[in-house]
């Protein structure tokens, strides 16, 4: 059994850890509320914008959507992996990395796959295989539409130049504080409406023409899609960290209680030994 000093040191260490994890949990809970409100308010707008674009596109001839609707044989793929800049968030980052590896091994086996990383943790792992062409880790320092639009413009230019035949986003979608869902979304080219989807036909008068409206809406929708993915990931990160720190605090509390029990038993045993030695010494003196 460890001596009393070692046990006291461990109790102090665990107590300090418990205070840190508890503080991180409260910080993440406060940030989660703001991030959750932001993504909840944003989703209806993004969904309606997509519906409007699909409704207009369904009435146009094929190819009227410009370069961003061009379907090419998939040989070169660009994957945008969205993680976080910080750890201590459970399996939040590792799930994205696992999904990218699965895509490399199965979905795009034999294809040329490159990555753009958003988030330091994903970049640190994926860059070991020399697959990362660039990273945008600083976007989380000021996550707003203007900064995300710059990244979206870069992706649109890359696709327009024909350097990649397909661009996909991999990120954690926020469901609630305890649940994050890995999402793989096709960013470019824009996917046509499925044949079984019924698009309501409404007789609108358009000014300017439908074609001009679609060409104007597509870049805006793509920027909004990327911004929504980053907002989703940002909220999911704080939810994952809050949950992880809650569990860590509970584990630290349980470990501290066990150490205190061990300390009390060791202290009791030491006192008992001292009493026995005193009694034994007194008996020896009598004899």
Q: Could you give the domains of the chain?
A: 26-244 (3.40.1380.10)
pLDDT at 253: 93
Q: 283: which residues sit within 8 A by CB, 6+ positions away?
A: none
Q: 204: which residues sit within 8 A by CB, 6+ positions away?
A: none
Strand, helix or coil for residue 73? coil
Mean pLDDT in residue range 227-246: 94
Higher pLDDT, 205 or 196: 205
Bond into 208 cis (ω within 30): yes
Phi, psi of 72 (to 5 degrees): -120, 160
pLDDT at 100: 94
Mean pLDDT in residue range 223-228: 93
pLDDT at 261: 92
Categorize the per-residue pLDDT at 64 as very low, low, confident or very high, splitting at 50, 70 and 90: low
Higher pLDDT, 20 or 58: 20
Categorize the per-residue pLDDT at 58 as very low, low, confident or very high, splitting at 50, 70 and 90: low
34-38, 49-53, 178-182, 253-257 — which is least confidently predicted?
49-53
pTM over 0.75: yes
């Amino acid at each position: 059994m460890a001596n009393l000093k070692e046990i006291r040191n461990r109790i102090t260490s665990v107590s300090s850890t418990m205070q840190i994890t508890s503080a991180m949990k409260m910080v993440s809970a406060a940030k989660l509320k703001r991030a959750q409100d932001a993504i909840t308010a944003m989703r209806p707008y993004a969904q309606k914008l997509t519906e409007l674009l699909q409704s207009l596109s369904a009435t146009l001839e094929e190819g009227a959507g410009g370069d961003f609707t061009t379907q090419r044989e998939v040989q070169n793929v660009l994957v945008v992996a969205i993680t976080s800049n910080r750890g201590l968030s459970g399996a939040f980052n590792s799930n994205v990395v696992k999904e990218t590896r699965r895509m490399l091994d199965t979905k795009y086996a034999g294809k040329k796959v490159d990555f753009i990383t958003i988030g330091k943790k994903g970049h640190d792992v994926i860059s070991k295989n020399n697959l990362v062409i660039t990273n945008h880790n600083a976007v989380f320092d000021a996550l707003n539409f203007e900064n995300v639009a710059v990244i979206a413009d870069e992706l649109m230019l890359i696709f327009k130049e024909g350097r990649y035949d397909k661009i996909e986003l991999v990120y954690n979608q926020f469901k609630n504080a305890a649940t994050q869902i890995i999402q793989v979304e096709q960013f470019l080219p824009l996917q046509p409406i499925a044949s079984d989807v019924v698009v309501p036909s409404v007789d609108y008068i358009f000014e300017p023409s439908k074609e001009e409206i679609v060409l104007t809406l597509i870049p805006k929708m793509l920027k909004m899609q990327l911004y929504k993915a980053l907002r989703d990931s940002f909220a999911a990160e704080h939810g994952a960290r809050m949950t992880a720190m809650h569990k860590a605090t509970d584990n630290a509390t349980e470990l501290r209680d066990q150490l205190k029990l061990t300390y009390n038993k060791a202290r009791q045993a030491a006192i008992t030994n001292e009493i026995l030695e005193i009694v034994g010494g007194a008996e020896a003196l009598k004899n």
